[in-house]
With several copies, the nearest count.
Chain A
């Protein structure tokens, strides 16, 4: 969803990392033009993008046309569920979403209890760069409003998880009932240095589209 829920500070750091290149991204879109993941794209660091709504960043379209970017388009719910399945140790799942559409072409379709379902495989990443709100020193995380989105799902589905947060508090300061991502999922914490709408510039010029 644009830049909301994006770890902008970490992405900024990736820009200057010379060996961070040829990346495959799993993200609903690829940021905004020139911002967040969109900036990494412009720097030629992304080779393959898995997502559900690239249309909101015209740079994706252009790189795709030049053959500089491979894309894999997945319905948003299937993307979220595939990431969850990756984190939950499942081998795959069946969903009704996409049956009868072009995205089902060449895919396994199965009739279950009289309805048609598409088979989908789990998605996992080597590294997840996620955005949360508060972390305790153990790595327990809470999120902020709709910046939660794919972050808790992705936190479970990667070998290494780096969480960018607004605030780091002592272990014990988060109510155990309110922890959304428990600490075993989180490997590194980074304090955010980029505030949306201030350091990242206006966001709302690109409204419309997932």
Chain B
């Protein structure tokens, strides 16, 4: 699979977990692609932290409104029943628990499901955006990430070497190879992706994890 196909595959696997009526916020990168894979019949509402609920799909060329963008600065459209609000109102909505699902990218995830997605040690820390707010505020936090870095190093590790985004663990971690849920004990393998294998996941995941009772025989 091409890198782009892998990203879409992860996005598709995340989108299966969405439920009708969910208010969702999508981070930059793979999370943004989730919007393209929402199952038919599942109506979700896209919140963008720059101040919009009900962001619709990318506009056709020639119909771009330069002042209608998502938090990643990409042009969007207006879904039926949309609403605009200020930044403080947007983050009140986020921190106040009114976003059902935040899909975030991650540089690393630790054994407890805590994520690092905003800073790289040794580089000046110049960007955080809304990641920390979404992490503490969303009812459910889903991480959408490739299983390995571009250098083929594992991202789901014992301890993050990158700075944590916050103390709250994610609820679900979805890669192209596996899906993990998170409970008080840490990571629980829920699913091995078709085309991958339990052995691959085990050998490319330094973080300890348990197997879900519902995990299909491996």
Contacts and interface: CB of A to CB of B under 8 A. Distances in A.
Contact of A209 (B28, B47, B49, B136): B28
Interface stretch (B121-129, B175-183, B209-217): B121-129
Interface size class of B (residues with CB under 8 A): 35 or more
A112 interface: no
A194 B119 CA distance: 35
Interface residues of A, number: 78
Interface majority SS (helix, strand, loop, mixed), chain B = loop
A131 to B, nearest CB: 9
Interface majority SS (helix, strand, loop, mixed), chain A = loop
Contact of B84 (A80, A86, A145): A145
A152 B95 contact: no
Nearest to B28: A208
A2 B136 contact: no
Contacts of A5: 67
A75 B133 CA distance: 7
A58 B127 CA distance: 11
A25 interface: no
A84 B66 contact: no
A8 B70 CA distance: 20
Given A81-B92, A88-B96, A182-B93, 10 more contacts: A52-B130, A88-B95, A89-B94, A97-B136, A116-B167, A149-B50, A151-B86, A157-B96, A184-B93, A210-B129
A147 interface: yes
A192 B6 CA distance: 44
B97 interface: yes
Given A81-B91, A89-B96, A54 B126 contact: yes
Interface string A90-111: 1000011111111100000000
B96 A64 contact: no
A207 B87 CA distance: 19
A179 B137 CA distance: 23
